[in-house]
Structure 1
């Protein structure tokens, strides 16, 4: 059985390619976010799962919710999703679209987990160093986790840099065991 990501991927790629072709990636980010937020609500999900509604009515329902904030090409995108019974994939399509846009923009969201809150200067210095190392524009998200004791953990996509005291102690414990 196909996973949700596998089902959403072609729609996200098609939407991204269209948005790039018409130079409206930011507008599509906003439209996808809006439609996805509606689809994630329990009331809308219940309507989309209602077997009494036709696919055209389901599409019209979502389009009515977003009415004044979507354009005709996005409405056509909703029709394509609806015809294939994929409207519930909108949140996943949005995530994948955002990832494609970030890759094209050479941007990366980075989580910086520390034991204590970082000031703006420290966060900016870390972001600059990470931007240079990763060759991308870094958008840092600070997270405070007192369980780290000290140091920090950086998560950038699938890259994890563990410079925490806890991580160093775990490495030392592993080295002593072997």
Structure 2
């Protein structure tokens, strides 16, 4: 839990600094670019290695991103390297993006269905969620046959369970109680 809290604090600090300089979108793009490189196991392994010094990490980061990132983003990574927090990058990035979405009145809704949604149904679900949440909704769809039918929706720390599996479980519980 401590690592999650530290990651949130770093993400919030970066967000506030970028907001203060009017560079939110620019920093978000830079963080995405760095995130793509961190997705490479060799690159990530180098930066998360405790055997590599902070200065060596800074030098490599500079060579890779010399023209690619702002001073603000570079300094953010310097602080991460100096405090050995590279392993929390993805969580920091998630917090930064969450704050950016919150400010932009956007939210990601994860929709789980037993079969893939067709485009028409995706639009209907997205429109209904946008209306309900009063935010722009970005749909992330996942197929999970174990829910049998219906859908599960995770959005804004809320869960809407309209799955056949949950209805069957509820019915089973009622039958057991009336026994």
TM-score (structure 1 length as normaliser): 0.86
- Work out whether 1:172 is the aligned partner of 2:178: no
User: Any unmatched runs of 5+ in structure 1?
Assistant: none
1:50–1:151 Cα change, 3 Å: closer
Contact 1:150 1:165 (8 Å CA) reproduced: yes
C-alpha distance in structure 2 between counterparts of 1:40 and 1:13, whole Å? 22
Counterpart position of 2:77: 78
1:166–1:54 Cα change, 3 Å: closer
Contact 1:35 1:62 (8 Å CA) reproduced: no
1:33–1:4 Cα change, 3 Å: farther
Contact 2:129 2:137 (8 Å CA) reproduced: yes
1:40–1:146 Cα change, 3 Å: closer
Residue 14 of structure 1: how far off its partner (Å) = 1.2
Aligned to 1:68, what secondary structure does the other structure show? coil
Contact 1:40 1:91 (8 Å CA) reproduced: no
User: Any unmatched runs of 5+ in structure 2?
Assistant: none
Counterpart position of 1:95: 94
Matches within 5 A, 1:44-55: 44-48=43-47, 49-51=49-51, 53-55=52-54
Aligned to 1:69, what secondary structure does the other structure show? coil
Q: Deviations over 1:5-27 (max 9, x none)?
A: 12222221111012112222222
Residue 33 of structure 1: how far off its partner (Å) = 2.2
C-alpha distance in structure 2 between counterparts of 1:50 and 1:87, whole Å? 10
Matches within 5 A, 1:107-122: 107-122=106-121
Contact 1:32 1:90 (8 Å CA) reproduced: no
Counterpart position of 1:140: 139
Contact 2:112 2:144 (8 Å CA) reproduced: yes
Residue 70 of structure 1: how far off its partner (Å) = 0.7
Q: Deviations over 1:80-117 (max 9, x none)?
A: 22222223322221111011111111211112222233
Residue 159 of structure 1: how far off its partner (Å) = 1.4
1:46–1:131 Cα change, 3 Å: closer
Aligned to 2:66, what secondary structure does the other structure show? helix
Q: Deviations over 1:19-48 (max 9, x none)?
A: 112222222112112223334533234433
TM-score (structure 2 length as normaliser): 0.86
C-alpha distance in structure 1 between counterparts of 2:34 and 2:147, whole Å? 38
